[in-house]
């Protein structure tokens, strides 16, 4: 069953050609076999998952209705609150934190009868591009275990690529779904800001964070988005469906977009590796053969996206992470002699180096005398970037660019060079600043047999067209069918 997509597996289960309990048991056998090397999961829930799978099989056998993810083994990034297990955010400061409620996205998975097998490793508080900043363990790339899986949703991407689950949820603040999906050769979708509830997602950058699926195929991404999308009264940033209705993303998935216009920003991709540029060019040519028109668009403010993002994101992080003080919950230092030391020593001992760096950057940008020079200016640049996309989408239906300038890099290669690591996100962060949807789909391999991702960006709340455009390419190629040897 390992070669089946989530959508195909669900069909087999409801038609009784497969048993969810047997599939789930096989998944845990794979986790037991490969997890010591991969390190994709922070926690797993074998007994609970097998119980949920057996319940689905029982309901199917009795003819009861079941949900759209009935019996499908799914994983969750460990920054989404769950009443089962700990919610750690990959940090020592939350290593023993147990949430009193489920995130809305998790509740929707459970209501869809998904079988949740575990919670995946991540960069600490989603701050990183390689999953190397996790304070709990290391995750490697299933295509080459000497390389990173990307980040911050590296555990989710590695688990899907290695066949340790059939789909997973990640979160994307500046590319944290798309970049690891690209590095691991799977599909990753960042929905429009407000399309999916953030309630129960532990905040990094509140105006940037968005939950989305990581899957084997575009159809699976559409299936999961069907489940998790929609308005949530508990999330004030969730968009009302009267304003932006939620369509059935699977309904027209296999209908190609006629007269498709693809926007390219040539000067913005010049810094990518040759193999990445070649894969992008080949993908564009494939679309051209399908009848697409290629349009050159100018987006002059994208050059400032990195700077604007790292001011805005770190400023929001410095505010959001102030709640981890050693008093309310989470880690508390045993060496504190007074209240001030409870606060300072708890944070100093439990936060990792990258989290401390970003808190300090954000606090500086928000401090008196620098707010106007940095944070306010970054917000203005953000608006200019949003305007760039609005003008570009008047000429084209989508914009295409690489996911990352390189393929997966070696573990340890960039961890001591923060600026170089930040530049890994150069192609992905603009979508978060603009609040638009973007997807990564497999489009080739480099000379070292490492996956390359194609990024597709679309106007706000146009996930339906975005997925159809992605499916056009997927239907003509077999990149998504190729699996690492570890997944066989």
Task: Please write the tens of the pLDDT for every residue from 137-179.
Answer: 999 999 999 999 999 999 999 999 999 999 999 999 999 999 9
Residue 47, in any domain of the structure: yes
Count up the domains in the chain and report the number.
1
The pLDDT value recorded for residue 148 is 98
Q: Work out whether strand 167-172 and strand 73-77 pair parallel, antiparallel, or are unpaired.
A: parallel
| Structural domain includes residue 59 | yes
Q: Among residues 5, 130, 171, 176, which one is catalytic?
A: 176
The runs of H, that is alpha helices, within 39-167 are 46-61, 104-111, 154-161
| CA 179/CA 135 separation, integer angstroms | 20
Whether the per-residue pLDDT at 487 is higher than 80: the answer is no
pLDDT of residue 2: 67
pLDDT of residue 270: 80
Q: The domain containing residue 185 runs over which residues?
A: 6-259+457-487
Task: Assess if residue 245 is contained within a domain.
Answer: yes
**pLDDT tier, 1 (very low <50, low <70, confident <90, very high otherwise):** low
pLDDT of residue 369: 86
Report pLDDT for 397: 98
CATH number (domain holding residue 111) = 3.90.1300.10
Query: What is the full DSSP assignment across 90-122?
Result: T-GGGTT---SS--HHHHHHHHTT-EEEEEE--
- pLDDT in the model for residue 160: 98
Residue from 77, 108, 119, 483 carrying the catalytic annotation: 77
| Known catalytic membership, residue 77 | yes
Pick the catalytic residue from 20, 152, 318, 346.
152
Asked whether residue 420 is assigned to any structural domain, the reply reads no
Mean pLDDT of 115-128: 98
User: Among candidates 161, 172, 239, 201, which has minimal Cα distance to 438?
Assistant: 172
Judge whether 176 counts as a catalytic residue.
yes
384 lies in some domain: no
- Give the model confidence (pLDDT) of 314-357 as tens digits: 999 999 999 999 998 889 999 988 989 999 999 999 999 999 99
Give the CA diameter of the chain.
Answer: 70
In a domain, 277, yes or no: no
Establish whether 152 is a catalytic residue: yes
Looking only at the bridges linking them, the beta strands covering 210-215 and 187-190 are: antiparallel
Residue 362 counted as domain residue: no
Tell me what pLDDT residue 475 has.
97
291: in domain? no
């Amino acid at each position: 069953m390992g070669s089946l997509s989530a959508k195909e597996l669900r069909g087999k289960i409801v038609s009784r050609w497969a048993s969810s309990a047997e599939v789930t048991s096989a998944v845990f056998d794979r986790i037991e076999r490969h997890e010591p090397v991969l390190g994709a999961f922070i926690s797993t829930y074998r007994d609970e998952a097998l119980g949920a799978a057996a319940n689905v099989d029982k309901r199917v056998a009795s003819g009861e209705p079941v949900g759209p993810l009935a019996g499908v083994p799914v994983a969750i990034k460990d920054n989404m609150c769950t009443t089962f297990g700990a919610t750690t955010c990959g940090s020592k400061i939350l290593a023993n934190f147990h949430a009193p409620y489920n995130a809305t996205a998790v509740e929707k998975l459970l209501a869809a009868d998904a079988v949740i097998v575990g919670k995946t490793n991540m960069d600490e508080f989603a701050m990183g591009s390689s999953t190397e900043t996790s304070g709990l363990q290391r995750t490697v790339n299933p295509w080459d275990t000497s390389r990173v899986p990307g980040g911050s949703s590296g555990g989710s991407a590695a688990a899907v690529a290695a066949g340790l689950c059939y789909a997973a949820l990640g979160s994307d603040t500046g590319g944290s779904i798309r970049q690891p999906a690209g590095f691991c050769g799977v599909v990753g979708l960042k929905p429009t800001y407000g399309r999916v509830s953030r309630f129960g997602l532990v905040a990094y950058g509140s105006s940037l964070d968005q939950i989305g699926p990581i899957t084997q195929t575009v159809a699976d991404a559409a299936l999961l988005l069907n489940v998790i999308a929609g308005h949530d009264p508990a999330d004030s940033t969730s968009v009302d469906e009267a304003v932006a209705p939620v369509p059935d993303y699977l309904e027209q998935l296999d209908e190609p977009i006629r007269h498709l216009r693809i926007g390219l920003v040539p000067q913005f991709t010049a810094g990518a590796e040759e193999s990445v540029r070649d894969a992008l060019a080949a993908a564009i040519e494939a679309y051209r053969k399908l009848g697409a028109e290629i349009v050159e668009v100018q987006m002059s403010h994208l050059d400032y996206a990195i700077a604007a993002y790292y001011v805005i994101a770190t400023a929001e992080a410095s505010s959001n992470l102030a709640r981890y003080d050693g008093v309310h919950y989470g880690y508390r230092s045993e060496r504190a002699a007074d209240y001030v030391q409870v606060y300072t020593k708890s944070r100093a001992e439990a936060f990792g180096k990258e989290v401390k760096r970003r808190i300090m950057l954000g606090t500086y940008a928000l401090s008196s005398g620098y707010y106007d020079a940095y944070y306010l200016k970054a917000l203005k640049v953000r608006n200019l970037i949003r305007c760039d996309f609005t003008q570009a989408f008047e000429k084209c239906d989508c914009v295409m660019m690489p996911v990352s300038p390189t393929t997966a890099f070696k573990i340890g290669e960039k961890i001591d060079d923060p600026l170089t690591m930040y530049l890994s996100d150069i192609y992905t962060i603009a979508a978060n600043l603009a609040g638009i949807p973007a997807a990564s789909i497999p489009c080739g391999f480099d000379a070292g047999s490492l996956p390359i991702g194609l990024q597709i960006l679309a106007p706000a709340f146009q996930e339906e067209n975005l997925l159809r455009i992605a499916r056009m390419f997927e239907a003509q190629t077999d990149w998504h069918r190729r699996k690492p040897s570890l997944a066989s």
